Amino acid sequence: MGNGFVPVAALVDYELTPTAPPRTTADTAIDSLTHAIEAYVSRKASPFTDAQAIQAMGLIAPNLRCVFDQPENRDAREAVMLGATLAGIAFSNASVALVHGMSRPIGAFFHVPHGLSNAMLLPAVTGYSIVGNERRYSECARAIALAGATDSDHQATQKLLLELDAINNDLRVPTLAEFGVSKASFDDALELMLEQALASGSPANNPRTPSADEIWQIYQQL
């Protein structure tokens, strides 16, 4: 990547976002939450990126429903945009993981917006990955205030999984079929999608490193 792709400055202004369509708001917000979670559980995470990722989760997750249901809520907009920016800095250094690796081919083949394909994958990939680093996923649940000091790591991760499903439900994330992708066209693309997901390098950052067969199984769950 050349310097031409790297911005010199970014203007981050939530005042510009209330007129974004609700779907765009939801998809970009879940994408940002995914950046924070993946940066935190990534094999390339560091204390520097952890601080940003944890802060980002605490800002984004509790405000997701509000920015979707109340586009004019300025406090929620500000929190999500600040969280999204922190999450972006976190994953620029810690990288992303299996959700993004599997998401890009869905976008390329079926023109599903990036954040939306991440949202479709986030619960299933998290469910698969938790055993790779239960402690880190439990800390995600605590950062989002889903779990407290009396919850075991296992209980905390189960609450995280339930919340990711509930977010998709509340933000009306469609299934691939509801989005208009037929089972036949998905099956036709599956082999190449698998290849591209693995070639992206992102699955190698995942706390549980998937085989091609496991990626295939997660795609089947969608």
Nearer to Fe ion, 31 or 153 (CB): 31
Nearer to Fe ion, 31 or 163 (CB): 31
Closest CA to 94 of 147, 64, 136, 144: 136
C-alpha–C-alpha distance, residues 33 and 59, integer Å = 9
Minimum distance from residue 105 beta carbon to Fe ion (Å):
14
64, 167 contact by CB (below 8 A)? yes
Minimum distance from residue 24 beta carbon to Fe ion (Å):
14
Q: Applying CB under 5 A, does 139 fall inside the site for Fe ion? A: no
Q: Site mask, Fe ion, residues 73-92, x = CB under 5 A? A: --------------------
C-alpha–C-alpha distance, residues 113 and 130, integer Å = 26
Residues 30-49 that bind Fe ion (CB under 5 A): 31
- Of 15-23, 26-34, 155-163, 187-195, the segment contacting Fe ion by CB under 5 A is 26-34
- Of 1-9, 24-32, 56-64, 137-145, the segment contacting Fe ion by CB under 5 A is 24-32
Closest CA to 210 of 114, 115, 108, 127: 127
Contacts 24+ apart (CB under 8 A), 155-158: 157/130
Both tokens assigned to 156: 């905390």
Dihedral through CA 144, CA 150, CA 156, CA 160, nearest 10?
-40
Nearer to Fe ion, 138 or 203 (CB): 203
Nearer to Fe ion, 80 or 147 (CB): 80
146, 64 contact by CB (below 8 A)? no
Closest residue to Fe ion in the complex (CB): 31
DSSP at 113: -
Minimum distance from residue 96 beta carbon to Fe ion (Å):
7
Residue 114 neighbours by CB distance under 10 Å:
16
- Of 25-33, 44-52, 70-78, 126-134, the segment contacting Fe ion by CB under 5 A is 25-33
- Containing 81, the helix (H) or strand (E) segment is helix 74-94
Nearer to Fe ion, 84 or 147 (CB): 84
Binding residues for Fe ion, total number by CB under 5 A: 1
- Of 27-35, 153-161, 167-175, 203-211, the segment contacting Fe ion by CB under 5 A is 27-35
Nearer to Fe ion, 43 or 134 (CB): 43
Binding site for Fe ion (CB under 5 A): 31
